[in-house]
Amino acid sequence: MTAPTRPEFRPQPRGNGPKIVKHIKAAGAWGALIFVGFWLLSKEPRPNPLAQGPPQEFSPESAQNVELATVASVQRQQLLAAKLKQRQTVAVFDELTRDLREWERELAAWQSEGPPLLRSDEGKRLAADADLVRQVRAVFKEGRPGSGTIKATRKQAEEVIFPVRESLKNAEDASPPSDFAVTTLRESQSQARNGRERYRQAREAVSVLLAQAPAAGVAPLAGVASPAGVAPPAGPRTLEQAIIQLDKEETLQRVATIEAAERKARDEATRLVAQEKAKVIQAEAEAEAQRLRDEAAQKKQASELAAAKSVEEMELKQKESAQEIARLRHLAELQRQGDLKAGSIWKGTYVFVNIPRKGTMTIEKRVKDEIAGSIDYDGIVYQFTGTVRGNSFKIRPENGSAANQVHEAMLNPSTKTITGRGLNLSFTYRLWDGKDE
């Protein structure tokens, strides 16, 4: 008789986790077997092309069916793409709506915090410091779009999104949103975010300036700086009055600057007039000195002729004196003529009908105050005659497009330049020193 077997006790895992994992593994194995069996049973043998007979001809009906299927597929793709763009555009409009609401909130916050400072006690704290007044004025004077802009932006966005929403409601509508609608919504969104940030930054700037403003009720001694950590008191003026006063002071400063510039210009003009008068007086003095030298030369000639021992000596001395007088007169005339003398060449710019060209003016002849010469610009040459009066002169072309016109010109002896103008033309020349530029 065999003894009864004793049951074997093994430690059992706690919980139902291992059982669930075991059941999942078994179900996965059965599923794999069922899938393989179904695949083997449903697999058809490859047809034998030799046993099927000749291939069937391609009929027009089958071609039309393929074309219709292709068109339908393309239409479905277009519809899906259009619906995607419609949903994206509506999503942009929703974002714009949120941005507009945030813009309105920032505008309302600024209106409740910013403008009241102009007359409140908090604003008086800012008014007590000139630097803070200047900074807060810049914040208040910055241009920011108001509620009218927000309403106009919202109205435009609603008008733009309306046809897109209608298209999205129709399941068969494959019209994508227009580029104008997408661009308008994007630009409006950028405008809304920018407007929101500008009001937010304005409030932050005012908050920072208020933190730097002197505290009320602490009065520093005259001429003594406030101790560290103790701010000067708020002034009696409101912030609005302080800004108005600052505007007045800056206006007066600008007026003073303009008056100083005008006074400097008048002094400079007076100095230049006096300088030109001095030049005229000097030229007259030199002319008078030359006249006296001529008279002295004539008297000397008469004395030498009277003391001559013979007619031949008298004739010789008279001839020599005449030559000397002629030479002195010629030198005096050349000195009087200055740079504007016969043989002088002037080069510069000749502007005709607003077109600048290279020009050359040549003084070919001068007899006392009568001159004659030629002007060459880009190969176009015309002759002229003229009359000199001091440092100014007038010339009259004898041929060319400016024939019989009067050109007025002015010589600046210090810079050796000639400037002048005529009808539809002007010119600026400088005395040529014989060297090519």
Q: Is residue 189 part of a domain?
A: yes
Model pTM score: 0.42
Query: Which amino acid type is present at position 177?
Result: P
Q: Is residue 176 part of a domain?
A: yes
One digit per residue, pLDDT tens: the chain, 437 residues?
Answer: 445 444 444 444 444 555 555 656 666 666 666 665 655 555 545 555 444 455 555 566 666 676 677 777 777 888 888 889 888 998 999 998 999 999 999 999 998 888 998 888 888 888 888 898 899 899 988 888 888 998 999 999 889 889 988 888 888 888 888 889 889 989 998 999 999 999 999 999 988 988 888 876 544 333 334 444 444 454 578 888 889 988 888 899 899 989 899 889 988 888 898 888 888 888 888 898 898 889 888 888 877 777 666 677 777 888 888 888 888 888 888 888 888 889 999 999 999 888 899 999 999 999 989 999 999 988 889 999 999 998 899 999 988 777 888 989 999 999 999 999 988 889 999 999 887 65
Q: Is residue 249 part of a domain?
A: no
Q: Which of 270, 120, 107, 116 is nearest to 199 (CA)?
A: 107
Q: Is residue 258 part of a domain?
A: no
Of 181, 212, 243, the position where a domain reaches its end is 212
| Encoded tokens for 397 | 């072309």
Q: Is residue 267 part of a domain?
A: no
If one counts the domains in the chain, the total is 2
pLDDT at 50: 46
- Please name the residue that has the structure tokens 């793409």: 81
Q: Is residue 272 part of a domain?
A: no
Q: Is residue 70 part of a domain?
A: no
Of 212, 246, 280, the position where a domain reaches its end is 212
Please give the C-alpha separations between residue 110 and each of 45, 126, 198, 241, 323, in angstroms, as whole numbers: 81, 17, 10, 20, 97
- CATH at 408: 2.40.128.20
Of 152, 178, 212, the position where a domain reaches its end is 212
Judge contact between 365 and 372, C-beta under 8 A. yes
pLDDT at 345: 93
Owning domain of residue 148: 79-212
Query: Which amino acid type is present at position 149?
Result: T
Tell me how far apart the alpha carbons of residues 396 and 367 are, in angstroms, rounded to a whole number: 16
Q: Is residue 295 part of a domain?
A: no
pLDDT at 236: 78
